Amino acid sequence: MTEMTISKTITLANGVEMPRIGYGVFRMKEHDVCVQGVTEALKAGYRAIDTAAIYQNEEAVGEAIKASGIARDELFITTKVWNADQGYDNTLKAFEQSLQKLGLDYVDLYLTHWPKPQLVDTYKAIERLYEEKLIRVPGVSNHHEHHLQQVFAEANVLPMVNQIECHPSLSQDALRAFCAEHNIAITAWAPLGTGIVFTHPVVKQLAEKYGKTVAQIVLRWHLEIGNIAIPKSVTPERIKENLDVFDFSLETDEVAAITALNTFHRTASDPDNFNF
Ligand code: NAD
């Protein structure tokens, strides 16, 4: 049996607490849909929102946050610098714009969205934002080990989060182990992965055993292997369902059986080969 009680937050390298389940808002470009989704998520109890400049919904996220009346220090807001804005000066400018759109005076976590050739300069700007206390946590996204090594060679403060595609069809064992060694927490994007997982007998049987949905089994697997997960849904029932994963636990062999479903299948580009 694994540890029954996994706390709702994870302590990052600098002591900051980050919620283990956050609300992702990719493909919610329509203003009202995003405001409604974030409002629903905050009502359901989510305290972390994952957006990005390229999602074109930072204003909507900011609007929902403001209307919620929830104290700023109870929230954990992540955004990301887009590829076209990378480099030192451009990243500082892009951050300023994100801050304005969100209507905030700091963000909790700022990430390099994808590893472009300027990834080190981009990270140096993120490090400066951290020194200036405009962000609480510096991080990166879609960085393989060799990208992280480039950052390590120049950084004064190492990234504390790497947000990567991770789900049972792409369990990312090697990169997760490398990040764990360097005290870098993993946030799993596309945590529910592909439809394959939803129909897989291993996951379906566990859903029956625990009286949970397949999505909840997969999200609980993320927690058991130490991940933060940021599922996306605009359906109120699913929004609630995706957060309701703290009242049961999987056996060690059940966690291993889900991890063994790995087929190295990506739902999107490999960070070593993308054209955007
Ligand atoms: P996801 O795994 O969260 O969702 C996949 C699909 O599952 C969605 O279409 C959703 O409709 C469906 N779903 C959600 N809850 C469900 C439930 N309970 N039952 C059945 N189906 C359900 O994938 P995603 O949206 O690609 O990723 C989540 C978040 O990760 C994004 O919103 C974004 O914030 C982030 N993200 C980051 C990057 C990056 O490059 N850093 C890339 C993609 C996504």
Among residues 49, 76, 90, 82, the alpha carbon closest in space to that of 232 is found at 49
Tokens 């064992």 belong to 173
Query: For position 1, what pLDDT does the model report?
Result: 47
- Helix 214-224 with 236-243: angle, nearest 10 deg: 40
> Taking 60 as the threshold, does the pLDDT of residue 248 lie above it?
yes
| Ligand 1 contacts CB of residue 203 (under 6 A) | no
Query: For position 196, what pLDDT does the model report?
Result: 72
Tens digit of pLDDT for each residue in 216-227?
999 999 999 999
| Ligand 1 contacts CB of residue 139 (under 6 A) | no
Supply 106's token pair.
């700091």
> Which of 61, 81, 189 to probe ligand 1 with, by most ligand atoms within 8 A of CB?
189
Query: For position 5, what pLDDT does the model report?
Result: 86
| Ligand 1 contacts CB of residue 233 (under 6 A) | yes
> Taking 50 as the threshold, does the pLDDT of residue 172 lie above it?
yes
Query: For position 199, what pLDDT does the model report?
Result: 87
| Ligand 1 contacts CB of residue 186 (under 6 A) | no
> Taking 50 as the threshold, does the pLDDT of residue 237 lie above it?
yes
Is 55 marked active-site?
A: yes
The model carries a pTM of 0.97
- Mean pLDDT across 25-37: 97
